[in-house]
Amino acid sequence: MKRRQDMGEFDPGRFRGRSRLVVTGLVLMACALTARAVHLQVLDQEFLAQEGDKRYLREAKVPAHRGAVVDRFGEPLAVSSPVDTVWVNPQVLAQSPDEITRLAKALDRDSRWLAQRVTSNLDRQFLYVARHMDPPDAAKVKALGIPGVELMREYKRYYPNGEVTGHVLGFTNLDEAGQEGLELAYDQSLAGIDGLKRVIKDAKGRTVENVESIRAPRPGEDLETSVDLRIQYLAYRELKAAVRRNRALAGSVIVLDVQTGEVLAMVNQPSFNPNDRAQYEVSRYRNRAVTDIIEPGSSIKPFILAAALGSGRYHPETVVDTSPGSVRVGIKTITDKHNLGAVDVNTILARSSNVGMAKIALSLEPEQIHTTLTTLGFGQVTASGFPGESAGLLSNASHWRPIGIATLAYGYGMSVTPLQLAQAYATIGSFGVRRPITFRRVDGPVPGERVIAEPVSRDLLGLLERVVSPSGTGIKATVPGYTVAGKTGTAWKAADGGYSQHRYTSVFAGLVPASRPRLAVVVLIDEPSGALYYGGDVAAPVFASVMSGALRLMGVAPDDLSHVEPATVVQAGP
């Protein structure tokens, strides 16, 4: 018996024990799996469903259509067009190196650049490779069937009038967010609110099903501007020709509606095309008419006279002795081109006498001059809301010395923007009522603040008419059929240690028709380098050309028929 056991004889008892152990183990494992299944499918069902949704359900943005920008008559200035953007899943595309070369060729991109972009972003599932393609071209890329390549619908901003309206409108970035100009100033209302939807995406990040709309997109509001595109084109053409003709560094033209404060036209040279992102340089896209400051030269003289007339000590016929054509103030001698002798205020402004203006200013209280200038808007922004607008420079009267007062009288020692200057002239044109500047269309007269007495404003208009006469410096601003009130200005530009004797800022600012002004205009030619450089020679002709067309386009009735052939008279519109 012992020998049989030593030889490994089969033991039924031991076999049954081992079998029970195995069966017990299997039963326990089955119970554990069953318990786990119950736990997952019953107790944790909601949690697992949420986790599954996270892996397949996604929230996708539905872009809102940006509002259009139009001129006062509904002509489009900025619109958004549907485009397609090509994006890739780097994790998928990297698995097919040959396809990267095909994609690069279809996109007209360097294959090495694209390969580097893809392989350096393998931790991402979304990567832009081409923004804002025309839908037909994007569809050809999609038709290649390259794994991991998808399209996304977006919108691209387009400016139909190019550089003609570039400085006013500004531009947006690739995501259609306003960056400059009116696009930035009114970005919140133009942008609208993007929508949101829930979608199911596959493992490669492709949308396979739209599940539900969470929030519908709300399109942006359209912006109806004050700009008259007809006058804008006219001003653009005349300014560009003048800058080229006078070999000038730059230039600006602003046209305001005197009755409403609306900006009907605003152009600058050099300009830029907002459709071409290669031109997005500050030196090109900044709106010089709003951001740049100049010393206004003689164009400031009407406002010094506003203080003088308002004091009651001066009238248009008041005589001032300018002999011998010069006056010494401190260590500086102020001179006129000619000795005008004893002349009235009319002649002082018409002939732009610096000596006469200095004597008048020195006879006034400094605070009186300062108050007049500040109430006209100098030294502060116009509240137009245009981004980057400058307030100019006007120091406190307590800091003024006699020499500063004398030079201020003919436009040195203070700085203004062309827009500030235009608003101040518009205030004279509205008989002393200052109205806010606006880039939005308004209907009907706009209430304003009286800052100059009406009789003083009417006297100033009469004085400014004399400037645009054969005896004045602004004769080249004459507009056939209309009376014109305006003032020339020519100022040396500041240089290191003083003023340059060869660099000028040339200005003409005016109002038409002078009998009841409708338009206020400022023309600035910066650094003309031709044979002519006075404001009356280089800026006044631009004013005349722009106003000759603008008044007729607006149907403003002529108020001076003395120098007009009957056939050229245009009756006012309804």
* Pair 434, 372: CB distance under 8 Å: no
Out of 22-26, 140-144, 354-358, 441-445, least confident range: 22-26
Tell me, what's the pLDDT at 4?
47
524, 536, 543: which is closest to 482 by C-alpha?
A: 543
Element (H, E) at 138: helix 135-143
**pLDDT beyond 90 at 328:** yes
Average pLDDT over residues 140-165: 91
Average pLDDT (455-465) is 97
pLDDT tens string 154-213:
889 999 999 999 999 999 998 889 999 999 999 999 998 877 767 665 555 555 555 566
> Which residue type does 540 have?
A
Is pLDDT of 47 > 70? Answer: no
Answer yes or no: is pLDDT of 565 > 70: no
- Length reported for the chain: 574
Return the minimum-mean-pLDDT range out of 141-145, 192-196, 381-385. Answer: 192-196
Statement: residue 127 has pLDDT above 80: yes
Percentage of the chain exceeding pLDDT 70: 87
Residue 441 has pLDDT above 50, yes or no: yes
Q: For tokens 């004279």, name the residue.
A: 428
Determine the pLDDT at residue 516.
95
Give catalytic residues, as residue numbers. 298
Q: Between 305 and 62, whose confidence is greater?
A: 305
Q: What is the mean pLDDT of the chain?
A: 89
- DSSP states along 274-343: TT-GGG--HHHHS-HHHH--B--GGGGHHHHHHHHHHHTS--TT-EEE-TTSEEEETTEEEE-SS---EE
Q: What is the pLDDT of residue 91?
A: 87
- Domains of the chain plus CATH, in order, are 60-224 (3.90.1310.10), 229-568 (3.40.710.10)
Entry pTM: 0.83
Q: Which residues of 238-259 are buried (b: 16+ CB within 10 A; e: fewer)?
A: bbbebbeebebbbbbbbbbbbb
Whether the per-residue pLDDT at 221 is higher than 60: the answer is: yes
- The answer on pLDDT for 495 being more than 60 is yes
Q: What is 367-432 written as a DSSP string?
A: HHHHHHHHHTTTTS--S---TT----B---GGG--HHHHHHHTTT-S-BB-HHHHHHHHHHHHTTT
pLDDT tens readout for residues 521-551:
999 999 999 899 999 999 999 999 999 999 9
The proportion of the chain whose per-residue pLDDT surpasses 90, expressed as a percent, equals: 65
CA distance linking residue 310 with residue 308, whole number of Å? 5
- Which strands form 250-257's sheet, in the order they lie side by side? 263-269, 250-257, 519-526, 498-512, 485-495
Q: How confident is the model at residue 82 (pLDDT cuts 50, 70, 90)?
A: confident
Q: What is the pLDDT of residues 461-494, one digit of tens each?
A: 999 999 999 999 999 999 999 999 999 999 999 8
What's the confidence (pLDDT) of residue 451? 97
Compute the average pLDDT of residues 253-267: 97
Q: Would you state the pLDDT for residue 53? A: 52
Q: How much is the average pLDDT of 348-374? A: 97
pLDDT band at 409 (very low <50, low <70, confident <90, very high): very high
